[in-house]
Amino acid sequence: SLYHGEEAREDTASPPLRPLYPQISPLKIHIPELDLQNLVSPLPSPTGTISVPNSCPASPRGAGSSGYRFTHNVTSDLQLAAEYAAKATLEQQTDASGGDSPKDESKPPYSYAQLIVQAISSAQDKQLTLSGIYAHITKHYPYYRTADKGWQNSIRHNLSLNRYFIKVPRSQEEPGKGSFWRIDPPSEGKLVEQAFRKRRQRGVSCFRTPFGPLSTRSAPASPTHPGLLCPHT
C-alpha cells in the first residue's frame, strides 16, 4: 500500500553527506626550551657602554641580583682604576723629582756630588747652606738619618774642593749664619740633568778640583759610586 511504500523508502538509508571542507588536523606548535645562558649577554665594559636613544629602561623588578652584580662590578672596576691612576701619578711625580720613596731606607744610588746638586737645585733661590743641604738629603733619603756621620764630612769635602760648587758669603742684611753654596752657572743645567741618573758602574771623575788631575786633594766620592758627574759628557 501507499503507507507501506513510504515506510520502506524511509527505512532505506540515505548516503552520508560529504563535508564541504576537507578535514583539518589540529595545529601543533612546538615551543623549544629556552637556554637562559645563551640569552644572557655578557655585561658591557663601563667605558664601552653605548646609550640607545628612545630605548626603554629596564624594569626595577627585572634587575634582580644581576643588576646588583653589575653595579657592584662596575664600582669595583672604577675603584681599581682610581687606585691604579693614583699610584701611577705618584710614580710619575717620584720619577720627575728624582728622589726615591721616603720610606725606602736603602742607600740611594747617587754620589755625594749628585746629592749636593739635587739639594741646591731644589731650593727656590738655587742656593743652600751646609745645614740646608744636610736637611734635604736626610729628608729625601732616610738611609742617611741613621748612617754614620762620615757622609757629612764627604759632603763638606765635595763642596770645598769641587770647582762646580761656589761659596756665596751671606750678606749682613740676611739673618742666620753660614755661607750659601751655589752651582757653577755655566754648568748648572747639565749637572742638574745628570743629578738623578743612577750611576752603578765605576767611571772617571769629572768633578775635578782646580789643582789639576794629579792633585792629591781630590774630593772623596761616594763609596758605592766613585764616578761623578761631568757636565760636558
Task: Report pLDDT digits (tens) over 30-53.
Answer: 666 655 555 555 555 555 444 555
Q: What pLDDT shows up at residue 200? A: 61
Res. 79: pLDDT tops 70:
yes
Query: Do 228 and 111 meet the contact criterion of CB atoms below 8 Å apart?
Result: yes
pLDDT in tens, 134-186: 999 999 999 999 989 899 999 999 999 999 999 998 887 777 788 999 999 99
Query: Do 109 and 221 meet the contact criterion of CB atoms below 8 Å apart?
Result: no
Least confident range of 14-23, 117-126, 196-205:
14-23
Highest mean pLDDT among 59-63, 90-94, 119-123, 217-221: 119-123
Count the Cβ atoms, other than its own, within 10 Å of residue 220: 15
User: Among 231, 121, 222, which residue's Cα sits nearest to residue 181?
Assistant: 121
- Residue 195 CA to residue 189 CA, distance in Å, equals 10
- Output the pTM of the full model: 0.45
Q: What pLDDT shows up at residue 174? A: 77
The strand pairing partners of 205, in sequence order, are none
Cell numbers 754614620: residue: 148
- How far, in Å, are 116, 183, 185, 213, 228 from residue 192 at the CA level? 10, 9, 11, 23, 13
Q: CATH assignment of 112-196?
A: 1.10.10.10
Q: What pLDDT shows up at residue 171? A: 82
| DSSP type of residue 123 | S
What cell numbers appear for 81 in the block? 682604576
Res. 97: pLDDT tops 80:
no
Q: What is the dihedral of CA 134, 140, 143, 145, to 10 degrees?
A: 50
Decide: helix, strand or coil at residue 181.
Answer: strand
- How far, in Å, are 27, 31, 119, 170 from residue 24 at the CA level? 9, 21, 100, 116
CB-facing half-sphere around the CA of 120: CA atoms within 13 A:
29
Least confident range of 14-28, 30-44, 67-81:
30-44
Q: What pLDDT shows up at residue 215? A: 41
Query: Do 139 and 100 meet the contact criterion of CB atoms below 8 Å apart?
Result: no
Q: What pLDDT shows up at residue 114? A: 94
Q: What pLDDT shows up at residue 110? A: 92
- Residue 8 CA to residue 5 CA, distance in Å, equals 5
- Segments making up each domain of the chain, as ranges: 112-196
What is the mean predicted confidence (pLDDT) over 56-75?
Answer: 53
The strand pairing partners of 166, in sequence order, are 182
pLDDT in tens, 182-228: 999 999 999 999 888 886 655 445 555 444 444 444 444 444 444 45
